[in-house]
Amino acid sequence: MCRFFPLHISVLIIAALSCEDGVHEGENGIPDNVIVDKGYSRSHYFFLDMQFRAYYYPLHESGSHIYNPNRVVVQLELYRYSQETAETVFGTACVDPHNPGYFSEYTQIGYFYRLVSGEDYTFDPYSGWIRLASPASAWDIIAAAYALGDTNNNISEVVGDVDFSSADTLRLKLIKDRGPPDYHPTLPLEFKNVYYLGRDNINPKDLDIIIVDSLSTIGDGDRYTDGTNYLTIFGLDQHDTHGQPVPDELIDIDNPNIVDLRLGELHFPSLLPFTYSSIPGLGTDHLALKEIYGYEIEDPNQNFIFDEGEDLNASGEWDVPAMYYRYQDRAQVDLESRFAIHVFQH
Ligand SMILES: [Ca+2]
Ligand SMILES: [Ca+2]
């Protein structure tokens, strides 16, 4: 997947919002909320396709997302699979509407209920993601039709029946299939880096976050053996409260692409934060995590499938983290779970 130069950078306002003195107010205290690494907000945010996903991380050095102004969402319709009712439409949702034979065994045929933008979901037309108003259940099926184009609304590509007339069979693109699957071709579209902090409408002055390694024997467990703070390692602390590019061991709470105060969400700046990868934006690109986990994730094309040419380790196993790749193997997911987000709200 190509990554081009930054095509558009939205403005990031650096403001001194967090603890001015550079001291963790929550340090040595009891956290109000502890969220383990495997506890990310599942089935909540989804990319419409892998091209949008490829642009999303890493963040630009300004802290913003990069997007392609010649490929934005001009029109979007979202549906949920449903029992037949007076309001449903008969249709077909497949993994790739341009190529219905691709993973055709996953095609869903049945009735679909149209969701209302702004009520049932929101979306970002530039970065091509949708956020359901509340997370989908494991058994929900979500599908979409959309038109892509440039920022002047000149349409260049249409996926599914975005202008559906009820005389036809609705054609849709699967965004989330029934699960919970160990593998499904739509699995890469789900965000796996968003954590709900426990409260909406957070006042930035009230919030403090540390990342704790449960196996650490040093202090609060919030830093690696070389002294580097885990906020810095996970890319959550790139600058100080004056906007200088110097980590200050305080989460960059003024970056809305990391902390969404209104929704009470923490967004780690990589697709699969609790694994190591040197591929930009895939895992967390910090050697401390390679030491901790003992391997680099072996899925370079990021499709969640073991493909020819992808490596196996000396034991003949495919090195991938269970929390992202093998939901069903709960014992293994628990075994690999190591970090926790400690949230302090004054
Ligand atoms: Ca900081
Ligand atoms: Ca692969």
Q: What is the pLDDT of residues 58-105, one digit of tens each?
A: 999 999 999 999 999 999 999 999 999 999 999 999 999 999 999 999
Classify residue 26 as left (phi > 0), alpha (psi -120 to 50) or beta: alpha
pLDDT of residue 180: 64
Range of lowest pLDDT (99-113, 114-128, 308-322): 308-322
Range of lowest pLDDT (19-23, 185-189, 217-221, 291-295): 19-23
Assess whether 169 and 69 both reside in one domain: yes
- How far apart are alpha carbons 310 and 288 in whole angstroms? 23
Mean pLDDT across 284-293: 96
Chain-wide mean pLDDT for the chain?
90
**How much distance in Å is there from the Cα of 43 to the middle of ligand 1?**
29
Smallest Cα–Cα separation from 65: which of 290, 277, 258, 333?
A: 258
pLDDT of residue 5: 37
Assess whether 34 and 57 both reside in one domain: no
- Measured in residues, the chain has a length of 346
pLDDT at residue 2 above 80? no
Confidence of residue 13 (pLDDT cuts 50, 70, 90): very low
- How far apart are alpha carbons 111 and 94 in whole angstroms? 14
Assess whether 24 and 60 both reside in one domain: no
Give the domain range for residue 163.
45-189
Confidence of residue 254 (pLDDT cuts 50, 70, 90): very high
pTM confidence score: 0.91
Ligand nearest to the CA of 245: 1
pLDDT at residue 300 above 60? yes
Assess whether 292 and 226 both reside in one domain: yes
Assess whether 212 and 267 both reside in one domain: yes
Assess whether 222 and 155 both reside in one domain: no
Assess whether 184 and 80 both reside in one domain: yes
Ligand nearest to the CA of 248: 1
Terminal-residue alpha carbon distance, the chain: 43
- How far apart are alpha carbons 228 and 239 in whole angstroms? 14
**How much distance in Å is there from the Cα of 259 to the middle of ligand 1?**
12
Ligand nearest to the CA of 239: 1
Overall domain count for the chain: 2
**How much distance in Å is there from the Cα of 133 to the middle of ligand 1?**
30
Assess whether 143 and 285 both reside in one domain: no
**How much distance in Å is there from the Cα of 301 to the middle of ligand 2?**
5
Amino acid sitting at position 337: S
Asked whether 270 and 281 are in contact (CB, 8 A), the reply is yes
Assess whether 254 and 120 both reside in one domain: no
Ligand nearest to the CA of 309: 2
pLDDT of residue 20: 42
Domain boundary among 189, 213, 246: 189
Q: Residue with structure tokens 């934060």?
A: 273
Assess whether 154 and 231 both reside in one domain: no
**How much distance in Å is there from the Cα of 249 to the middle of ligand 1?**
6
The strand pairing partners of 40, in sequence order, are none
Assess whether 107 and 69 both reside in one domain: yes
